[in-house]
A and B are shown apart, each in its own frame.
Chain A
């Protein structure tokens, strides 16, 4: 499945957060969205998920306008991992992950749904926590449960909003490896917001740098992660090095004023 955002704009009351974003992502790809705080990353993800309705422009799944289909239809095709959720009344990890099957059954889940959940829990290293209460888990464990829930959803496209921000380095790599493997072995497409540029560089097929609600640069990691781009987008001076063919970014110094010079690399 292809998802494409066509000149998507979005404003929270007066403030325009997305200023015309055009983006297309197909199957078997991991696309990382990076950019400073407030650059519109989460808003873009929410527009792609149909949680927010763009004030102009549209999002298309293949050739279907996202605005024309209901949440259930979207949920069968797109999985979404929020930054965090709070459960009012804490449910078990198993029940939380089982929610991912909700778009696929009408009234009650089948044996197969339960099998899928058990598999996903094992895959995400959550087997031992299955009967624990969600609200009593650590932030990182909660994040893994939310990823597990989205995987149980078996979507064609997965949108993740900073899915690894609270994970230890072992689980960061594990989650990324699992996503990478799924993207290789199935027709899954992944769009994720990440702050860790090294993680993005290591796993992304494409990196989209957002700045002030517009795409500043988009392309393969070695094309987008240049010292100039990072300086313009973040206002940070970095050292770049190369390990095993991946760009490695070491932040060095905060620059006083950010350059407004735009360097767009064609994807």
Chain B
């Protein structure tokens, strides 16, 4: 388009400046994610040292050190050993894993369902899990001792709900609106079923079922940590892998298809990954709300909507929020441990509202 040599030079200089500005911006965003990793590490590390039992910092890390590096058995480590190794550490790590799962899948759900209000429970996962658990706990479909039956029930019912939604909404072409509305419908359906189940149950069982539904990390042990960590590692990896495609889907279905994305396949694939991941977490922890909604928005306010950054960063911020909230839940009215599902909202809501108020214009 240019004819004279001066204009070519000017253009080249502009180009260099443009590229430099873009690279700088990209570096800043990457740095944010990279710096989050040690923050999460430090947080998890220090969260272990807090709790209602009076164990000093040194004793806490002594236990971890002796268990990990010297291979001492837990029983040889005494009371502190049991508390730190059997109770606190799995609890904190499950918090980390659940935070990553909720944060990253929340980010993905919002883009895939084209709705800034979407969260990981949008496909009726939490209410279906609650119903499954209530069925096991209240109707006594084998509750005693078999804590895995409750978990299994919760997991199966949440998969059932999500599967039903994907199946129903894919008739005559999937659309995000259809998915959202079927999801909402099933949510009410399962809530009603839970209410009816609990209506006929005896009060202790109902109490147990209600407590089950409120998110809590207290049921963590090394087996649940290992299972969920495996599932979440694979799941988050898959979501990050698809995050470039999600960027394009952010501009609309037609636009994304014209950029070469198989939109419906990507939508179903990412939903299935999110569902399996979140169903797994929900069955171990119950419904921990808010993290999956807030973490992605917090990250977007800081580094913008690029999903290649957003998905991993939301996972890490989700972990920060959840581990922090759980530490508060364990210590604030110690020795009573509050359910973390309630505390996340207590801590997160003021922060979130403040950030929304401060921001000019829309959220999106």
Contacts and interface: CB of A to CB of B under 8 A. Distances in A.
Interface residues of B, number: 36
B19 A123 contact: no
Interface of B: 1, 11, 14-15, 18-19, 21-23, 25, 110-111, 114-116, 244, 247-248, 250-252, 254-255, 257-263, 300, 304-306, 361, 364
Given A51-B258, A80-B258, A100-B259, A122 B244 contact: no
Nearest to A149: B259
13 contacts: A71-B258, A80-B258, A88-B116, A89-B250, A89-B304, A99-B247, A102-B259, A102-B260, A107-B244, A114-B22, A118-B15, A118-B22, A121-B18
A95 B305 CA distance: 10
A50 B18 CA distance: 34
Contact of B15 (A85, A89, A119, A136): A119
A72 B260 contact: yes
Nearest to B363: A89
A219 to B, nearest CB: 29
Secondary structure of the B contact surface, majority rule: helix
**Quick one: which of B251, B261, B300 has the most chain A CB within 10 A?**
B251
Secondary structure of the A contact surface, majority rule: helix
Interface of A: 46, 49-51, 70-76, 78-80, 82, 85-92, 94-96, 99-100, 102-103, 107-108, 114-115, 118-119, 121-123, 127, 130-131, 135-136, 153, 178, 181
Nearest to A101: B259
A89 B305 contact: yes
Given A51-B258, A90-B305, A130-B18, A85 B252 contact: yes
A99 B21 contact: no
A71 B261 contact: yes
A43 B42 CA distance: 56
Given A89-B111, A91-B247, A94-B18, 4 more contacts: A74-B258, A85-B254, A122-B15, A127-B18
Contacts of A92: 25, 304
B21 A135 contact: no
A162 B124 CA distance: 41
Nearest to B25: A131
A123 B254 CA distance: 25
A118 B305 contact: no
